[in-house]
């Protein structure tokens, strides 16, 4: 028997004989084979998500998708996106080098750092990766390090959007970008310094679900492009950044990416001479490709609360604790069964704030059950930590019913590899 479990607003998963299926393979079988906690990514869904957003924009104008790799930098996931033709939005030299390792050529990577050191600017420019400058200071320093280098500029549009205050980046006074009243002067200075000026960039925040803030941002960028052209600088591209959200809750509607694409490309083509639009989705591409599987170790009734205690905590997935983010949870081996009670799903970390979900109705949980945490592909593994000296977990890729290990679990011993006890303390 095959059915689905949650609303069409959020990704649905197949159920076979009461067990959750991911990419054609039983979630319980994956957990048993690879152990828990484990991040499980569906390759087919990853490719589909990339194609959906690329096609939505490229049917209207030359559009390039630069995957915001901070969302997930696993080499196998990067390799899949390289095969699909993606570019990269990188925010550190580590991300640049990781993407080169995955097979991306330097011309497909754009580096957008913040508070960047001279050493990192030199390393990035030596690699031949385009730099999206974040400040006047960075521009002046790069002019001495790599004269005539190809650059664009990140501007602060005065528009913000996102799922929470900690991820809104584009408002006035933000730490990111060139303030609006300094943009034209900065481009004029860049021209005087001899830079090869290619484009303009803005980013308003992460996880936005409304089209309107993106339109407001683009109005600012279009106006600036036309003012910059009066300086004799003809830009090649507008980079609208990322931040396109996805539904995390069962009844939450997905952003209409088709509408977004039409509105933005119409504005660019009708009001400027810009030929290329770049966008930098991260969450949209990887979020719903991945499920975190975690095993139930304990079920506790504390009187005022009932707890499902799992082997994954905020060391494994920090978003609920850090952002108060919602992630849908289900019991993978009781998929589709009637829910009988309300529970908090919590982890093994020695903190009261260690939780994955609050007040969720679930079918009777038991020790040994496998809890599936949805939408874990974006900022899941990439933000995990060794807190409480817990090793980083495995990652698995599934495709057409086959599961492959794409990251080994870390050992406790590996956490010590860079630590040194001075000789005087050994005596």
Report residue 281 CA to chain centroid gap: 8
* 350 is an active site residue: yes
* Distance separating alpha carbons of residues 162 and 326, to the nearest angstrom: 14
* Distance separating alpha carbons of residues 211 and 196, to the nearest angstrom: 32
* Distance separating alpha carbons of residues 222 and 238, to the nearest angstrom: 8
Catalytic residue among 287, 310, 350, 393: 350
Residue in 62, 49, 45 with CA at minimum distance from that of residue 261: 62
196-201 and 402-407 as β-strands: parallel, antiparallel, unpaired?
Answer: unpaired
* Distance separating alpha carbons of residues 189 and 195, to the nearest angstrom: 9
Using an 8 Å Cβ cutoff, are 29 and 17 in contact? Answer: no
Phi-psi region of 376 (alpha: psi -120 to 50; beta: other; left: phi over 0): alpha
Using an 8 Å Cβ cutoff, are 204 and 217 in contact? Answer: yes
Other C-beta atoms lying within 10 Å of the C-beta of residue 61: 16
Instruction: Specify the 3-state DSSP secondary structure of 213.
Output: helix
> How many alpha carbons fall within 13 Å on the CB side of residue 63?
26
Other C-beta atoms lying within 10 Å of the C-beta of residue 271: 14
Using an 8 Å Cβ cutoff, are 375 and 325 in contact? Answer: no
Using an 8 Å Cβ cutoff, are 33 and 245 in contact? Answer: no
Q: Which residues form the catalytic set?
A: 350
């Amino acid at each position: 028997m095959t059915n689905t479990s949650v609303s069409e607003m959020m990704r649905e998963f197949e159920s076979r004989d009461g067990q959750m299926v991911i990419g054609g393979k039983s979630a319980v079988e994956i957990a048993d084979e690879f152990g828990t906690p484990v991040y499980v990514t569906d390759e087919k869904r990853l490719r589909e998500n990339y194609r959906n957003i690329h096609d939505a924009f490229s049917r209207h104008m030359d559009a390039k998708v630069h995957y915001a790799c901070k969302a997930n930098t696993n080499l196998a996931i990067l390799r899949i996106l390289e095969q699909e033709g993606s570019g990269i939005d990188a925010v550190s030299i580590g991300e640049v080098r990781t993407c080169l390792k995955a097979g991306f050529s330097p011309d497909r990577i754009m580096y957008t750092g913040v508070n960047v050191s001279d050493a990192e600017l030199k390393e990035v420019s030596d690699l031949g990766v385009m730099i999206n400058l974040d400040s006047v200071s960075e521009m002046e320093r790069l002019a001495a390090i790599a004269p005539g280098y190809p650059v664009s500029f990140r501007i602060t549009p005065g528009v913000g959007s996102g799922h929470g205050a900690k991820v809104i980046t584009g408002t006035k006074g933000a730490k990111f970008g060139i303030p609006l009243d300094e943009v034209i002067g900065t481009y004029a200075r860049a021209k005087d310094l001899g830079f090869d000026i290619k484009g303009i960039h803005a980013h308003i925040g992460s996880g936005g679900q409304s089209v309107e803030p993106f339109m407001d941002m683009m109005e600012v960028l279009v106006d600036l492009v036309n003012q910059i052209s009066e300086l004799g600088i003809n830009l090649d591209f507008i980079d609208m950044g990322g931040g396109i959200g996805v539904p995390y809750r069962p009844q939450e509607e997905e952003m209409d990416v088709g509408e977004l694409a039409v509105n933005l490309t119409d504005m660019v083509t009708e009001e400027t001479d810009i030929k290329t639009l770049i966008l930098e989705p991260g969450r949209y591409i990887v979020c719903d490709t991945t499920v975190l599987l975690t095993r139930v170790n304990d079920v506790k009734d504390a009187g005022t609360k009932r707890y499902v205690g799992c082997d994954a905590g905020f060391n494994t997935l920090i978003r609920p604790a850090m952002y108060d983010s919602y992630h849908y949870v289900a019991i993978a081996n009781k998929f589709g069964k009637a829910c009988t009670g309300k529970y908090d799903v919590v982890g093994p970390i020695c903190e009261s704030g260690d939780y994955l979900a609050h007040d969720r109705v679930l079918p009777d949980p038991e020790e040994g059950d496998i809890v599936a945490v949805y939408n874990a592909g974006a900022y899941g593994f990439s933000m995990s930590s060794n807190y409480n000296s817990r090793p980083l977990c495995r990652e698995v890729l599934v495709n057409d019913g086959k599961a492959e290990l794409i990251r080994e679990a870390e050992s406790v011993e590996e956490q010590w590899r860079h630590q040194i006890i001075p000789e005087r303390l050994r005596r």
